[in-house]
Structure 1
Amino acid sequence: MNVTVLHTAALDGLPHGFLGRRGGVSQGVVAGLNVGLGSQDDRAAIAENRRRAVEAVLPGAKLVTLHQVHSPDTITVTAPYPDDARPHADALATAKPGLLLGVLTADCAPVLLADREAGVVGAAHAGWKGALGGVTDSVVAAMEKLGAHRERIAAAVGPCIARASYEVDEGFFRRFCEADPENERFFLGGRAGHHQFDLEAYVGARLAAAGIGRVELLGEDTYANPEAYFSFRRATHRGEADYGRQIALIGLPA
């Protein structure tokens, strides 16, 4: 099975892609293209999956990933990091050709960004905590320091857990509404004391509010598509001992 790469019109012409679980060598509960170094998967399988991911998007590029911690922090990248020395952060930006920026997700929202004219790209891992904390604002600011202009930036929000699959409690709902009363629009009422949260729409709205010129949402639900995507919440609900991570990639050709 070949690696499945989702491309977006917003980033057309640039090496990029949102990858799922198809096309990898991992076995068991993380079967497929698991690229998560934080999983219990065989390290050789993870390395092969990462190699396949790079070859599917920008052959010969150097992959750069992070030790993701649900922060709003962005790292500006000029060279790859060893796997055991990845910075603790949740977004990357670069103007250097030949690097492939990667963010890993398993329900959180992957965001890929580019200002073609400036030759600057970015990638962000936006779970609810990072999204609320401003990780998308942070990556846009880092890209601007490299010469990008936010009105020229195109962004795409990739596969993540959809509102129908994302039940949250009253405390979660209040946290968002206290940050901004208008955030209530991203929630639908659910069973007593619970709400359904639209992470993708929230991340898209944050990008639009930041002045990004074009924002595209893929509308792919990681939780509801077990054949196509890894999902932390689904693995938890199934009582599985581990879960895989998929990767979203963007780079500048060398």
Structure 2
Amino acid sequence: MTTTRARGVSAPPFDTFNLGDHVGDDPAAVAANRKRLATTIGLGTEAVVWMNQVHGDHIVRVDEPVASAVDETDGLVTTTPRLALAVVTADCVPVLMADARAGVVAAVHAGRVGAAKGVVRRAVEAMCDAGAHVEDISVLLGPAVSGRNYEVPAAMADEVEAVLPGSRTTTSRGTPGLDLRAGIARQLIDLGVTAIDADPRCTVDDRSLFSHRRDAPTGRMASLVWMDPTPMSVGGRR
């Protein structure tokens, strides 16, 4: 699941359901929003695992609730039911992955730098290390900046395309751009993952979502995945 910016307590420019604790918002407001999120999905606040994301390719396996955010990581993997993994974004791609048969889920923060470094590939490898099988992994690519709105210098587009084929595109203004969801989808297919869904929403176009490119400074949405105890039931695949 992915949140929107509505129905929280944060004041502008983080209004209102900001879930990022690193953007300058009042910590009490962020804590209140995170508590509301945990209550809404039917889990306690201790059952939601957050990351201090750094645009890298480090993946951490978590097997139980943790007292604070997992530091300096951009991907989480678990085999523990009712332990929700959260990724916060405001243009980057939230990648939620699950092998419901094996009971393994992952949440990944894939921005331009991390995606180019191979953070999604690392997450698939970590899932397989935890017992998943590539052919059984299903993926949801969440709301992110679309290629029509993600303008970058031509050299940067070429650099990303070289390591993440399928990413280079042309924006609505006819300039070089990046479609990270397209590049990630192609990478997943090359890895053997075929069950890939993409939320079509563009964070820049959709004002119900946070967008750093549009509004900085601004808040962050959260995308979460978790397993319910019932076999084959995965909370993030809604």
Please report the TM-score for the alignment, with normalisation by the length of structure 1. 0.84
- The one of 187, 203, 207 equivalent to 2:188 is 207
* Contact 2:92–2:112 (8 Å) recurs in 1: yes
Q: Give the % identical residues.
A: 34
**Matching residue of 2:64:** 79
Residues 155-199 of structure 1, C-alpha deviations (whole Å, 9 max, x = no match): 00000001111111112112124336x54x63126768x412212
* Offset, 1:78: 1.3
**Matching residue of 2:168:** 186
* Contact 1:54–1:100 (8 Å) recurs in 2: no
Equivalent AA in structure 2 for residue 78 of structure 1: D
Is 1:69 the counterpart of 2:51? The answer is no
* Offset, 1:47: 0.8
Q: What are the equivalent positions in structure 2 for 1:3-152 lying under 5 Å apart?
A: 17-60=1-44, 62-83=47-68, 86-152=70-136
Is 1:163 the counterpart of 2:150? The answer is no
Equivalent AA in structure 2 for residue 186 of structure 1: R
Equivalent AA in structure 2 for residue 69 of structure 1: V
Equivalent AA in structure 2 for residue 222 of structure 1: T
Larger mean Cα displacement after TM superposition, 50-59 or 129-138: 50-59
* Contact 2:160–2:168 (8 Å) recurs in 1: no
Larger mean Cα displacement after TM superposition, 203-212 or 125-134: 203-212
* Contact 1:71–1:133 (8 Å) recurs in 2: yes
* Contact 1:190–1:196 (8 Å) recurs in 2: no
Equivalent AA in structure 2 for residue 233 of structure 1: R
**Matching residue of 1:8:** none
- The one of 199, 210, 222 equivalent to 1:230 is 210
- Tell me how large the CA RMSD over aligned residues is: 1.8
Distance 1:178 1:186, change over 3 A: closer
Distance 1:208 1:168, change over 3 A: same
* Offset, 1:141: 0.9
Aligned residues: 228
* Contact 1:167–1:190 (8 Å) recurs in 2: no
Equivalent AA in structure 2 for residue 101 of structure 1: L
Equivalent AA in structure 1 for residue 181 of structure 2: E
> Structure 1: how far apart are the matches of 2:173 and 2:92?
23
* Offset, 1:206: 1.6
Is 1:243 the counterpart of 2:214? The answer is no
Residues 64-109 of structure 1, C-alpha deviations (whole Å, 9 max, x = no match): 01110011111001123333x6321100000012211000001000
> Structure 1: how far apart are the matches of 2:135 and 2:34?
32
Residues 213-245 of structure 1, C-alpha deviations (whole Å, 9 max, x = no match): 30001111001112x111111124xxxxx2101
Please report the TM-score for the alignment, with normalisation by the length of structure 2. 0.89
> Structure 2: how far apart are the matches of 1:223 and 1:21?
13
**Matching residue of 2:232:** none
**Matching residue of 1:5:** none
* Contact 1:19–1:247 (8 Å) recurs in 2: yes
1:206 aligns to what SS in structure 2? helix
Structure 2 unaligned regions, length at least 5 = 230-238
